[in-house]
Amino acid sequence: MIEKRLLTESITIRKPVQRFVVGTKQPVFDYEVIATGVKSRFNPGGTASSRNVLGQTPKRSFRLFLNQTELKANYEVIRESDNETFVATDVKNFWGHHMEAVLEEKR
């Protein structure tokens, strides 16, 4: 377990939930709040450029450190200090001690 004094940011974790429009098979994605006020720590991970039809666009990434909680890949993480939204791309659980996640900013 990481000490509370080392965890400087508060985050909200949201889980994507797929539902269908009533009477059709059209999928709609909604987010369900899992936890709010979770203490964590952001470390810059670098800036990667993703290539698409419009050219190269920079995408910032971060490493997130936090104590045990429900967090999986594709979950949405919102930093409460500035309401910036990120998507978890990789989550590692270190022997029940703490968790590390790689986050990319959501556009």
Secondary structure, 3-state, 8-22? CEEEEEEEEEEEECC
pLDDT band, residue 65 (cuts 50/70/90): very high
Q: What percent of the chain has pLDDT over 90?
A: 55
What token pair was written down for 23?
């009477």
57 against 89, higher pLDDT: 89
| pLDDT reported for residue 94 | 85
Residue 60, C-beta contacts closer than 8 angstroms, at least 6 positions apart:
44, 45, 46, 47, 104, 105
Residue 3 and residue 65: Cα distance in Å, rounded? 11
| pLDDT at 75 exceeding the cut of 90 | yes
Q: Which range marks the domain in which residue 37 is found?
A: 4-105
Lowest mean per-residue pLDDT among 10-14, 21-25, 52-56, 71-75 = 52-56
DSSP state of 26: -
Q: Considering the entire predicted model, what is its pTM?
A: 0.83
- How many separate domains does the chain show? 1
Return the CATH number at 18. 2.40.10.370
